[in-house]
Amino acid sequence: MQSDINKRRAVRQKKARRRRLKIAFIFFLIIALITLAIMCFTVFFPIKRINVSGSEIYSKSEIIKASKLTTDDNLLVVSEEEIENNIRQKLPYVDSVKLKRVLPDAVILTVTDAKEYAYYQSGESYFILSENGYILKEQTEIPENVFQIITSGINGEVSSKATYVNNAEEELVNTLISTLQNKEINIDEIDVSNVLEISLEVEGRFTVLLGTTDYTEEKIAHLKGMIDSIPDRKGKINLSMWTPTNSQGSFTEEDN
């Protein structure tokens, strides 16, 4: 009987030693993995090569300098968002930056240039916007080949995103732009400074009165039909009274 007790005790002790060894192994494995991870993010994978492509506006050296990337940086740590923000702050005509890591030591930056898309006036200055709403440039001359956005107010500085004083106006402008473009109507001006008297300038020859925000998409669909039926003429199109039960628009030709 004593022998059986000793055998059971020996088995328990052996199992306990195995558990302690297993726990110790797991502990040292975790320490080793943590140490390896720290070294990966500090010692290993330093950036040695930075390649840039895509931009037709800025040189490779300008982009690298603006990115603030250096050979002291770690390949695994660098942030695409931070790099894009750094570049845009210095080089406003950059629309986006894609970062690709190539082990063990290279970074590839693919840059997309921003295009002049629209503008707004503030005081005596004109601010040119990209399609994504970033302010590309401030100038004193009226911009060419871009449409004007008129609101109750837009704020911002070059390289930052334009912010509308009235969020509802921003949503309305975006809706109008999207709807007009879907109907392939060329925009010259969008005026939402008074949401009861929304107006447009389109196709270089029409002033369009939309009135309120009611039935905006339907009004623009009707506008498309009217434009197609009035070739080679200029004037004012009034859709301010348009409703599903009163689907009429008027055209007043401009005197030559």
Over the stretch 221-254, which tens digit does the pLDDT of each residue have? Answer: 999 999 999 988 999 999 999 999 988 889 999 8
Mean pLDDT of 122-130: 96
Residue 35: pLDDT band with limits 50, 70, 90:
very low
Q: Copy the structure tokens of residue 217.
A: 């998409």
Q: What is the pLDDT of residues 196-209, one digit of tens each?
A: 999 999 999 999 99
Share the mean pLDDT of the chain. Answer: 87
The more confidently predicted of residues 43 and 177 is: 177
Percent of the chain with pLDDT over 70: 82
Burial environment of residue 116 by CB neighbours within 10 A (0 to 12, 13 to 18, 19 or more) = middle
% helix, strand, coil for the chain, step of 5: 35, 30, 35
Give the H/E segment covering residue 11.
helix 2-42
Mapped onto helix, strand or coil, the DSSP state of residue 240 is coil
User: Is a pLDDT exceeding 80 seen at residue 120?
Assistant: yes
Show Cβ contacts of residue 186 under 8 Å, excluding neighbours closer than 6 positions: 202, 203, 204
